[in-house]
Amino acid sequence: MTQAETRTGTVRGSVEDGVSVFRGIPYAAAPVGPLRFRAPAPVPAWQGVRDATTFGPTAPKNPYAPPLDALLPDPDIPGDACLNLNVWTPAPDERQRAVMVWIHGGSLRNGSSAVPLYDGWAFARDGVVLVSLNYRLGVEGFGVFPDAPANLGLRDQLAALSWVRDNIRAFGGDPGNVTVFGESAGATSIAALLTSPHATGLFHRAVMQSGAPTALPPAQAARTTVAMAKHLGVDATAAAFARVEPSRLLAAQRTATSGGTPLTGNRGFHPVIDGDFLPAAPAAAPAAGATDGIDLLLGSNTHEHRLWFEPSGLVDRIGRGTLWAATLRNRAPLRAPGVYRASRPDAPPGEILGAMTTDKILRAPLIRLADDRTGRPGRTYVYEFAWPSPVGRLGACHALEIGFVFDTLHTADSHLLAGDAAPQELARAMHQAWIAFATHGDPGWEPWNRTQPVMTFGADGPRTVHAPRDEELRLWD
């Protein structure tokens, strides 16, 4: 066993293969009762030694809908104190080590820090203090109400980062060298944190994996809340929602957000441009200087869309008519399908549409973010994960890179997406690049410039490609 002294009390963790692990440490009070739909409140101090050997409760959420439930396990741990975090740290010595803080994805309505794929042991083995956290999800974390603060889930993340600043020295971490990293909704959250004046000084580098810098104005973001209110037969206010049992809220949330995907569109949850936590759109942050001085590593996977298009069979249900209708609806150039087909001559219409949608919603906004930072303080590095999974027709799909970044290819969760023979050498290279970036700001390749260098992690190992598929990308300028 091992112990650490935080500002609110002593915690007892465990030692696992030479790494000290603390799980379920509260960083804010349980968001229940009068604290429901309110900004995170300080956690009460405790006497004695608090056990921190098991994961804490997860935020209220519905399971993933089929078929994603079979590919993305999502542990559900009951309890009210869902605002908790975990720490993996190397054996103690005199050094203050780089800190990496993981923000999970899940469309802001799924996920938790208890997913086995996110185990931080390998980071601690390699000299980094790894922190992962839970935050409020769905309407509890991202509902839009006239009588409650917006972006509660983001405010939770801010509270966790404040905890890291105030407590991480006790775990061997350096509060002056903190890197936030996240995937999908976690990356979108990081884009919001980069924009928020409230997060200034809480982290020094950032990694955005497969998540775009997006946010919505309040009226647009409130549509999901309003739809839920109609289903429940209550006013669309925090006071009314707070009187509804969490299980009924989750049922209404499932109804309001069913159908569609993050790429094809449906009602969901988003960061909100509220004029306080998020004063402007994250895509405009570089021009306003909000990201100045922050080193940034960002990128995407070659076949992001296949996580939603392949297991559901959607790719086979899309014909030429649907492809052309989507081209017009997305205001894409009429030549776009032909440009994409030139490098995919045998691809069905569904694959062409998936590639186009991925670029419009994800890849192009990330590249614009890199372009907008060029010449400003802070380096930018771009990657692409291109190793194709042998599972079904997933290819290099959304979320596949996570097991490589965490060096957790041995887990059963990783096998669901990557199979049981994924290349360990590629995982080692990607994992070490993330550690190098967090430690000193250089992952090992050329920073973004006019030649557009992209480190591509593919079947032939890591290699730099300049301006990959640039003709396709320019369609979305």
pLDDT one-digit tens code per residue, 198-234: 999 999 999 999 999 999 999 999 999 999 999 999 9
443, 465, 470: which is closest to 454 by C-alpha?
465
Is residue 184 among the annotated active site residues?
yes
> What is the crossing angle of helices 152-167 and 185-195, to 10°?
70
From the list 20, 112, 132, 184, the catalytic residue is: 184
Q: What is the CATH number of the domain that holds 290?
A: 3.40.50.1820
Is residue 304 among the annotated active site residues?
yes
* Two structure tokens written together for 316: 């086979």
- Give yes or no for residue 76 having a pLDDT over 90: yes
From the list 107, 204, 270, 304, the catalytic residue is: 304
pLDDT one-digit tens code per residue, 379-437: 999 999 999 999 999 999 999 999 999 999 999 999 999 999 999 999 999 999 999 99
The span from the CA of 369 to the CA of 382, in Å, is 10
What pLDDT band is residue 330 in, cutting at 50, 70 and 90? confident
* Two structure tokens written together for 121: 């042991």
Q: Point out which residues pair with 22 in neighbouring strands.
A: 87
Q: Point out which residues pair with 14 in neighbouring strands.
A: 21
Neighbours of 104 (CB within 10 A): 25
Domain range for residue 445?
Answer: 2-476
Average pLDDT taken over every residue of the chain: 96
pLDDT for the residue numbered 15 = 96
pLDDT for the residue numbered 477 = 86
The span from the CA of 400 to the CA of 301, in Å, is 8
- Split into its structural domains, the chain has a count of 1
Q: In terms of pTM, does the model score above 0.95?
A: yes
The span from the CA of 76 to the CA of 247, in Å, is 13
Neighbours of 210 (CB within 10 A): 29
- Give yes or no for residue 359 having a pLDDT over 90: yes
Is residue 384 among the annotated active site residues?
no
Kind of pairing between the strands at 19-26 and 49-51: unpaired
pLDDT for the residue numbered 331 = 86
Amino acid at 169: R
State percent of the chain over pLDDT 90.
95
Q: Point out which residues pair with 12 in neighbouring strands.
A: 3, 51
- Give yes or no for residue 109 having a pLDDT over 90: yes
What pLDDT band is residue 265 in, cutting at 50, 70 and 90? low
pLDDT one-digit tens code per residue, 120-175: 999 999 999 999 999 999 999 999 999 999 999 999 999 999 999 999 999 999 99
pLDDT for the residue numbered 474 = 94
162 phi, psi to nearest 5 deg:
-65, -40
